[in-house]
C-alpha cells in the first residue's frame, strides 16, 4: 500500500477550478516532485494533504489516515514547509527552533541534541542569535526546513521551497533533501524548476489543475512524441515568432539557440519548403533528444 494516496481530488474557488480529478500515489521513502508553473494547482494539492483545505471531491490520505477527518493522527509524523516564509521574523534562529520544538513536544536534552543535528546540516549555528528577518533567502529556507524537521517527521511536504533562492543555495537545499531521503523520509516537493525534477525519484507534471504526466525523471522525456530539432541560430524574438507562424511548428528559446518541434505526425520534410521560403537553411536544424522541459511544454500545449 502506498504511503501517500491522492484520489480524484477536485477543488474550485468561486467557480474557478484549481484542481481537477487529481490522482497520485507516493511510496514510503520516495522523493516525489510536483512540477508546474505558478497557478497550476500544486499548492492546492499540497494544502489538501496538509489538512489546510477541504477538497470538493476526492480523497487524500497519509499513512492510511484521511487528511480531512483523521488529520490529528498525521500531525505527529508530518513536517510541512509552506510556500511563504512561515517563521517569525522578529524571533531569532534559536527562538524559532525552540518554539517549534516546544509545540512539537521536542524539549529538554532531546531538543538540544536535535538542534545540534539540525545546525550541522544547515550551517546556521553561527547565526543562532540573529533574527530570522535578517537572514538571506537561502538561510531562511534552511531555517524553515530545520523547524519542519524538528520532530523527525516521517513525511516532509514542501511547497516551492527553492523559489526565489539563489542557485547555490538551491543545490545545497536539495542535497539536504536527498540526505533526508537516505534516512528514510518520504518527501513531496513542488517546484517550478525543471532542473530540480531530475533529483526526484518520480515527478508529476501539473498544469491547469490537471496531471499531465507522471514518471521517473529519466523516463519522462520519452513521452515526447515526434522529433525535436535544435535550430542553431540567434534566438531572437523575431526568429521565434517567424517559426511559430508556421502552424505545424512550435519554437521556443533554449540557451543560445531555439528548440523546434513539429506537431504530431508532421515530418521535417513536409515543412522544409515553407522554412526555405522564409529564408531558413534546413541544415541549421539538427535533431536532438528532448529533455524534461521539451516534454512538459509539448504536453502543456496539447492539453
Task: Summarize as ranges the residues that interact with another protein (CB under 8 A).
Answer: 13, 47, 50-54, 72, 75-76, 78, 80-91, 95, 98-105, 107, 147-148, 151
Kindly tell me which of 88 and 254 has the beta carbon lying closer to another protein.
Answer: 88
Can you tell me the distance from the alpha carbon of 216 to that of 13, in angstroms, rounded to the nearest whole number? 32
Residue 287 CB, nearest distance to another protein (Å)? 46
Which ranges of 217-291 does DSSP label H, i.e. alpha helix? 237-245, 268-277
Kindly tell me which of 82 and 138 has the beta carbon lying closer to another protein.
Answer: 82
Kindly tell me which of 9 and 87 has the beta carbon lying closer to another protein.
Answer: 87
Residue 52 CB, nearest distance to another protein (Å)? 5
Residue 56 CB, nearest distance to another protein (Å)? 11
Residue 281 CB, nearest distance to another protein (Å)? 53
- Residues forming beta bridges with residue 25, ordered by sequence position: 5
Kindly tell me which of 88 and 230 has the beta carbon lying closer to another protein.
Answer: 88
Residue 82 CB, nearest distance to another protein (Å)? 4
Long-range CB contact pairs, 49-52, < 8 A, 24+: 49/4, 49/6, 49/157, 49/188, 50/78, 50/80, 50/157, 51/75
Kindly tell me which of 65 and 104 has the beta carbon lying closer to another protein.
Answer: 104
Burial class of 12 by CB neighbour count within 10 A (0 to 12, 13 to 18, 19+): middle
Burial class of 78 by CB neighbour count within 10 A (0 to 12, 13 to 18, 19+): buried
Residue 256 CB, nearest distance to another protein (Å)? 39
Which ranges of the chain does DSSP label H, i.e. alpha helix? 42-49, 71-74, 93-103, 108-122, 137-149, 167-182, 194-197, 237-245, 268-277, 292-302
Kindly tell me which of 137 and 226 has the beta carbon lying closer to another protein.
Answer: 137
Amino acid at each position: 500500500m502506498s504511503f501517500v494516496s491522492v484520489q480524484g481530488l477536485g477543488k474550485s474557488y468561486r467557480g474557478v477550478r484549481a484542481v481537477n480529478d487529481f490522482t497520485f500515489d507516493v511510496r514510503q521513502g520516495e522523493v516525489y516532485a510536483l512540477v508546474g508553473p505558478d497557478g497550476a494547482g500544486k499548492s492546492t494539492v499540497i494544502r489538501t494533504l496538509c489538512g489546510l483545505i477541504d477538497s470538493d471531491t476526492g480523497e487524500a490520505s497519509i499513512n492510511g489516515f484521511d487528511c480531512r477527518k483523521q488529520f490529528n493522527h498525521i500531525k505527529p509524523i508530518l513536517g510541512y514547509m509552506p510556500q511563504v516564509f512561515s517563521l517569525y521574523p522578529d524571533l531569532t534562529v534559536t527562538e524559532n527552533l525552540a518554539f517549534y520544538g516546544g509545540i512539537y513536544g521536542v524539549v529538554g536534552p532531546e531538543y538540544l541534541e536535535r538542534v545540534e543535528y539540525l545546525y550541522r546540516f544547515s550551517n546556521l549555528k553561527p547565526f543562532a542569535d540573529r533574527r530570522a528577518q535578517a537572514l538571506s533567502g537561502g538561510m531562511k529556507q534552511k531555517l524553515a526546513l530545520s523547524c519542519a524537521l524538528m520532530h523527525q517527521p516521517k513525511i516532509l511536504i514542501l511547497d516551492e521551497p527553492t523559489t526565489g533562492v539563489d542557485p547555490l543555495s538551491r543545490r545545497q537545499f536539495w542535497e539536504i533533501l536527498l540526505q533526508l531521503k537516505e534516512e528514510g523520509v518520504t518527501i513531496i516537493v513542488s517546484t517550478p524548476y525543471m532542473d530540480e525534477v531530475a533529483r526526484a525519484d518520480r515527478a508529476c507534471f501539473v498544469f491547469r489543475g490537471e496531471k499531465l504526466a507522471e514518471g521517473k525523471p529519466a523516463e519522462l522525456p520519452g513521452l515526447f512524441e515526434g522529433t525535436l530539432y535544435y535550430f542553431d541560430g540567434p534566438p531572437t524574438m523575431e526568429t521565434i515568432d517567424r517559426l511559430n507562424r508556421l502552424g505545424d511548428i512550435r519554437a521556443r528559446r533554449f540557451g543560445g539557440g531555439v528548440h523546434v518541434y513539429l506537431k504530431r505526425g508532421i515530418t521535417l520534410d513536409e515543412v522544409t519548403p515553407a522554412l526555405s521560403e522564409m529564408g531558413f537553411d534546413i541544415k541549421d536544424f539538427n535533431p536532438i533528444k528532448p529533455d524534461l522541459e521539451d516534454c512538459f511544454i509539448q504536453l502543456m500545449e496539447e492539453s
